[in-house]
Amino acid sequence: MYQSTMKVFIAVGVHPRYRRFIDYLPKGFEYEISGNPDVNKYYSPVRTGGTWKKVFSLRFASTIITRIFGFPRMAYYRTDADLIYSTRGILPLNRKPWIVEVEHPYGFVGMDYRLWGRRQKAVVRRFLKSRYCKGVVLVTDAAKKAMEKEFPDPEIRKKLSVIYTTVAYKKIPKKKHKGINILTIANADVYSRGFRFLQEIYPELQKKYRIKWLLKTNQTLLDRDNEFIKKYGVELIPGNFNEDQLSSLFSRADIFINLSFVDTNSNIMYEAMRAGLPIIAQDTFSGKEKIKNGHNGFLIHLPPLFWDKDNMRVKTETDFADYSNGAVSKALFGRIERLAKDKKLREIMGRRNIELIKTGKFSMERRVKQLGELFSGVLGGR
């Protein structure tokens, strides 16, 4: 339990993971939350032990400033809190302790790598070295590695920490069904998430095994792909889902596939783990942090078409809608085939994933503990 007199201001964005952020905060602090109404309504002061108070906040028009004047994302919050935790960029004008959370150095320019240059790095470096900046939270080890490359300054490196954005454990009952359901979820660009690889091998998988592809996406597909879906009986699930609807979808699946060229964090993988599914994922960026090959799933090697070895954006552009790779497709076929043949292996890997969410590396309890220690460490040493 921490000092109840300490007040922490939390500034969050619109991503669904921020709903979990503000609903699972360390107890013992008073909280002020700045976020849009869709986020605020999920905050439970009873659960956190804090006090919710919507306060007046001022934010620079960061998108306009970034694009026109070449500055990184920044904000100012008018609050009497003892500590500010910002997911909305650096705080150059607030003269009190603050912590910034970011998923990658590009997060300082809204994840638009084309806007990340010397000027932006210089501004960010200046304020991360400030005595008011007390911490930089990364959501993956891969992101921390990228930050260390971009900012080798000892004053900044000592402020870096990794706190995973996870989900709270709950039991996801399995729904009985015939055959084996493989699930892919792509609510961003469906083509940057391994769509072509699975499409190339799906007809053969159907011939050999009773496999059905569940494709959840809110994106518009090309006509040729809609024809493929119709021809081979892929179950297309359109639209946006809330967490309960996603849990219902996971309960129908036997294998989760997440081959993403672009994802830095893939929050959906935490939900697949909670559902007790074996996962086939990419070995780029944070894939290796979530999946230990052969233990709780399988890793597929992807060429560096988006992220390089230092987890920074490669210079070339790739049209993922037309990209294919025989070696990747062959490896994916082999991994799916092995899981399709071995129900016991699927169950073992699924249980291991549940434990990672329930009590392990990605447990919500661990996250809350880390946040509490971070807050108390800053407030105790201010």
Q: Is the same domain home to 133 and 274? A: no
* 158 within domain boundaries: yes
Q: Is the same domain home to 216 and 157? A: no
Q: Is the same domain home to 193 and 254? A: yes
Q: Is the same domain home to 55 and 118? A: yes
pLDDT reported for residue 1: 47
* 173 within domain boundaries: no
Are the C-beta atoms of residues 295 and 316 closer than 8 Å to each other? no
Report the distance separating Cα 3 and Cα 69, nearest Å: 42
Q: Is the same domain home to 297 and 150? A: no
* 175 within domain boundaries: no
Domain membership of residue 74 as a residue range: 7-166+363-380
Q: Is the same domain home to 97 and 192? A: no
Are the C-beta atoms of residues 40 and 23 closer than 8 Å to each other? no
Q: Is the same domain home to 85 and 209? A: no
Question: Tokens for 91?
Answer: 């705080």
Q: Is the same domain home to 247 and 265? A: yes
Q: Is the same domain home to 276 and 185? A: yes
One pLDDT digit (tens) per residue for the chain, 382 residues: 444 578 999 988 877 788 888 889 998 898 888 876 555 555 555 555 555 555 555 555 555 666 667 789 998 888 999 999 999 899 999 999 999 999 999 999 988 888 899 999 999 999 999 999 999 999 999 999 999 999 999 999 999 999 999 999 999 999 999 999 999 998 878 999 999 999 999 999 999 999 999 999 988 999 999 999 999 999 999 888 777 888 999 999 999 999 999 999 989 999 999 999 999 999 999 999 999 999 999 999 999 999 998 899 998 888 999 999 999 999 999 999 999 999 999 999 999 999 999 999 999 999 999 999 999 999 986 6
Beta bridge partners of 236: 215
* 1 within domain boundaries: no
Cα angle for residues 368, 369, 375 (degrees, 5° grid): 90
Q: Is the same domain home to 254 and 130? A: no
Domains of the chain: total: 2
* 237 within domain boundaries: yes
pLDDT reported for residue 178: 92
* 219 within domain boundaries: yes
Question: Tokens for 18?
Answer: 């921020």
Residue with tokens 């043949």: 341
- Candidates 113, 71, 89; CA nearest to 34 is 89
Outline where the chain has alpha helix (H).
17-23, 37-40, 45-48, 62-69, 118-128, 141-150, 154-157, 195-208, 223-232, 243-250, 268-274, 287-290, 326-341, 343-358, 364-380
Q: What is the CATH number of the domain that holds 139?
A: 3.40.50.2000
pLDDT reported for residue 57: 58
pLDDT reported for residue 131: 96
Q: Is the same domain home to 106 and 199? A: no
Q: Is the same domain home to 58 and 91? A: yes
- Its sign, for the CA torsion 354, 356, 362, 367, is positive
* 2 within domain boundaries: no
Are the C-beta atoms of residues 307 and 314 closer than 8 Å to each other? yes
